[in-house]
Each structure stands twice: as C-alpha cells, then as structure tokens.
Chains A and B, each alone.
Chain A
Amino acid sequence: EDQVTQSPEALRLQEGESSSLNCSYTVSGLRGLFWYRQDPGKGPEFLFTLYSAGEEKEKERLKATLTKKESFLHITAPKPEDSATYLCAGNAGGTSYGKLTFGQGTILTVHP
C-alpha cells in the first residue's frame, strides 16, 4: 500500500532560523512527488513537483529536493508569512494516475 509520512508534525521557528521538513514515501513506481502549502480555511496551494532522485526546485525561500526514499523541503531564513501547513503527496502514475497519496502535513509556525 502506498504511504507518505511527514515529520515533524509541528515545527516552531524564529524568523530567520532555517530548517527542513521531511517527507518519506513508499509509493510504487513513483511518477511525481508534490509539495503543497495550506493556509487555515483554504485549499492546498501547489508549490513543486519533483520527478526523479537528485532533482531540486526552488521558489523564494523554499527549496525542495528528492531522493529515492524521501523528499525535503528546506526553508531558508523563514518569515512569519511562511507559517502554514506543508503537505507532500506521491503519485504512483500509470493506471493510478491522479490518485495522490497525501502525508499528514507539517504545521510550520514562524515567530517574528
């Protein structure tokens, strides 16, 4: 069974304190690893897609990386507006296209 596990469940940082979120996956024939950001009362907002081990993508203070077993979301010098829940999801592709398996998310709080 496909499974995605995120850690930590919650992370509190001071503004400017860099850190990383982890996403471990067991998704057969992974065709894409997705990162989303979710603000309270809103739907998940797409951030990145990673396809193959070694791939990296960046957007402002965020950088996502992928290995064969896990993905990391690195946050450099975070600001309070980066506070949100970050979700990762795996897509097995093929006949299971569209069936994203989501992790439980990491709740990030950045204090000024």
Chain B
Amino acid sequence: DAGVIQSPRHEVTEMGQEVTLRCKPISGHDYLFWYRQTMMQGLELLVYFNNKAVMDDSGMPKDRFSAKMPNASFSTLKIQPSEPRDSAVYFCASSWGQASNQPQHFGDGTRLSIL
C-alpha cells in the first residue's frame, strides 16, 4: 500500500520566493496534518484538516503561510514570502476515523532551505 507521498523531497530557494509543498494522503484517510520539525522546536503541528475542512490552524503563521485541501487526495502548504527562519523539514501525515486513538502516518518530509 502506498503511504503518504510528499513532494518535493528537497527545496532550496532564496528569501522572498514563494514555496509550495505538496502532499497526497493515504487513500481513505479523512484527517490530514502538516507539521514542521526543527532541532530547536522539535515537531510542531501547523494545521490539520478533517474531510478537507480546516479544523485547527492555530500553529500556523497566517501572515505568510496558507494551507489548502481542494480534494480528498491532495493538499498544499504555501509560504509567501519565504524567510530563512522557515528552513525546516515539513511533514505531512494522515489518519482515519473519529476516534482519538488512530495513529497518524507520516510521509518522508520536504527538507526546505531558505537562503
């Protein structure tokens, strides 16, 4: 079975440029999560969706970040304009079901470097 698929795997761009990260969740999963991982902060939840609707985006800097899920099999996380402090590994995860005990399954991440 295909897992969570993220693209690109690596992105290097200059400060001020727009960056778009992409995610395809596991088929049938109705929850999708975007995380950011850094050495200092560890894994932080940015935003999550249930059935394509944003449930919580309190962890996302809304002045420059935006997240969308136009259909059940695709989500994007956009940063505009990008800043060096956005350099991190961004993970997408998906899970199934209403219960809080369902594990989240992670993709292999996008390593983002903003110069």
Name A's B-contacting residues (CB within 8 A). Answer: 31-32, 34, 36, 41-46, 49, 51, 87, 89, 91, 93-94, 96-100, 102-105
Q: For the complex formed, measure the closest distance between the CB of B60 and the CB atoms of chain A, giving whole angstroms.
A: 13
A-B contact list, 25 entries, CB within 8 Å: A31-B101, A32-B100, A32-B101, A34-B104, A36-B106, A42-B109, A43-B93, A43-B106, A43-B107, A43-B108, A45-B106, A46-B103, A46-B104, A49-B101, A49-B103, A98-B33, A98-B48, A98-B50, A99-B45, A99-B56, A100-B104, A102-B42, A102-B43, A102-B44, A105-B42
Most A CB within 10 A of own CB, among B56, B93, B100, B106: B100
Please determine whether A46 and B105 come into contact, CB atoms closer than 8 angstroms.
Answer: yes
How far apart sit A38 and B107, CA to CA, in the bound complex (Å)?
11
The answer to whether A31 and B43 touch (CB under 8 A), given A41-B108, A46-B105, is no
Query: Which residues from chain B contact A41 at a C-beta distance below 8 Å?
Result: 108
**B95 in contact (CB, < 8 A):** yes
**Complex-state Cα separation, A51 to B91, whole angstroms:** 25
Q: How far is the CB of A30 from chain B (nearest CB, A)?
A: 10
8 other A-B residue contacts (CB within 8 Å) besides A42-B108, A51-B101, A94-B100: A31-B101, A32-B100, A43-B4, A44-B43, A44-B91, A44-B106, A97-B98, A98-B95
From residue 12 to 46 of chain B, which have CB atoms closer than 8 A to chain A? 31, 33, 42-45
Question: Number of B residues whose C-beta is below 8 Å from A?
Answer: 24
| Residue ranges of B at the interface with A (Cβ–Cβ < 8 Å) | 4, 31, 33, 42-45, 48, 50, 55-56, 91, 93, 95, 98, 100-101, 103-109
Query: How distant is the Cα of A30 from the Cα of B50 in the complex, in angstroms?
Result: 21
